[in-house]
Amino acid sequence: MDILSNSTIPYAGGLILLWWLYRLVKDRRSNPNRLPLPPGPKGYPIIGSLFDFPTYKPWLVYDKWFKTYGDMFYFEVLGQPFLVLGSVERTYDLFEKRSSNYSDRVRMPMLIEMMRWEYNMAFLPYGNWWRRHRRLFHDHFHPNIVDKYKDVQIDTARAFLRRLLKTPDDFMHHVRHAFGSSIVKVAYGITIEEENDPFVINGEIALGGLAEAGNPGTFLVDYFPIMKHIPDWFPGAGWKKKAAWWRHINGVVANRPWNQLKDQVKAGTAEPCIATTLIGQLPDEDAPNFPEEDLLSRDTCAVAFVGGADTTVSTVQSFFMAMCLYPEVQKKAKAELDNVLRGRLPEFNDRPNLPYINAMIKESMRWQLVLPLAVAHMCTNGDEYNGYYIPKGTIVIGNGWTILHDPEVFDDPLTYNPDRYLKDGKIDPTVRDPNVAFFGFGRRICPGRYFSENSLFTYVTHLLAVYDIRPGLDKDGKEVEIKPEMTNGLLSYPEPFSCRITPRSKEAEDLINNSSLMG
């Protein structure tokens, strides 16, 4: 919880006591029926479960707590209530059936007010401003329009194959570059540089900050917003320097490409893209509503970039790891591809004929989640549910990791096994789809999910059509053991690992080299 770097906690004792007393009085008034709180760790007076609050891979800790308290548990930390949900039934009941009361976001001073992530609608409070962001984004990424981006996705996938051929050891970087390339082209019409592109670099820094600060309570200022006003020179205020650096990067990510496109539009040199469409729809610059509409359009492009350039990156990187660990899965996928493609590279219209590949995409999403806890929701008003009282302002978390690793639903859930989704050679609709948790919940589900799934199909098929993926070798020529470990944080990525990526044949290498000439 960044307690060490927030060493001002001794000075906040009186504030904590007053806050606790305030919460105690308020909760008693708002729960007139004296319903019990949901089960969970009781903690201590005032501080609650502060010492039990998990900050390292909390989804795994919560998964263990479900075994003690059931599929829903409650706890408090410094007066802030938390409710964690561990089943599809619970997330559906609250995030879907009661979405009007469970679609808000908790105030996150570190992430929003200090790091300035307010351009990302995923963190905006539930209300009209969020709805306008969501509606505008949906206009450009709904399922009936994402097909227009397929040519860009194919082109960047094939460029990805060529980069892998030159420097296969840099595959982790190439994955990030490929996704950054496609979404920057779609959103801004810009072709990024082959090496050290500022869009990719700044996006990676910004998302690294999001991964660190995105889970509520990671920084003490989330509990005590008044700490924002602590001077930078104050002992223990090193976290403010972090915030300032990330705030600068977020300003660059949100503003630089948007301003660049506006200049290109004025000069008549801009390529058609989402940004040019939005700029063309803006009112005159002297119109009273211009600043608001300009900000809304800028945010739409910026959130497309940070979402499209990153969330699916983790899944594809995990896919490389799975191929190293499960060669029999790779063999099955290649056999299916070879039967359908017959010596050519894949296209989107091949998808209906590739059931095993579609099962792999589902399993890649399920196996290692990029957002194991999604983004936390907040209870807008006190609620009664299943005989329990849920206080107003409760942070409500859906543990997607638990939902997609439930051993009663998925046999041997830690194993990567696409066959679990198949029956009689077709996708089995009775098996739990990872979409129930992978992209979030309720009204706050990721609106870019259709673009993301298309990207996954493109990269999985192109990789397996032409490359063999195996574990790396140590100095003695033996395959290095790979452990499927993921990083901590709101966004989770595979821990670094090595693998060998080599063309399947001379014919495959020719396909890679000639891919830039294909339609």
CA dihedral 402, 403, 406, 408 (to 10 degrees): 150
Residues 6+ apart with CB under 8 A from 131: none
**13-52: b (≥16 Cβ within 10 Å) or e:** eeebeebbeebeeebeeebeeeeebbebbebeebebbbee
Class of residue 504 by CB neighbours under 10 A (exposed 0-12, middle 13-18, buried 19+): middle
**472-484: b (≥16 Cβ within 10 Å) or e:** eeeeeeeeeebeb
Count of residues in the chain: 519
Q: Which residues lie across from 468 on neighbouring strands? A: 502
- Asked if residue 70 lies in contact with residue 39, where contact means CB atoms within 8 angstroms, the answer is yes
Q: What angle do CA 355, 434, 408 make, to 5 degrees?
A: 100
Amino acid letter for position 321: M
What is the DSSP code string of 368-380?
S-SSTT-S-EE-S
Amino acid letter for position 292: E
Please report how many Cα atoms fall inside a 13 Å half-sphere around the Cα of residue 338, on the Cβ side: 12
The residue written with tokens 């140590």 in the block is 474
Ligand-binding annotation for 499, yes or no, is no
Amino acid letter for position 185: K
DSSP 124: S
- Helix and strand numbers, DSSP H then E, in the chain: 16, 10
Which residues define the annotated binding site? 446
Which residues define the annotated binding site for heme? 446
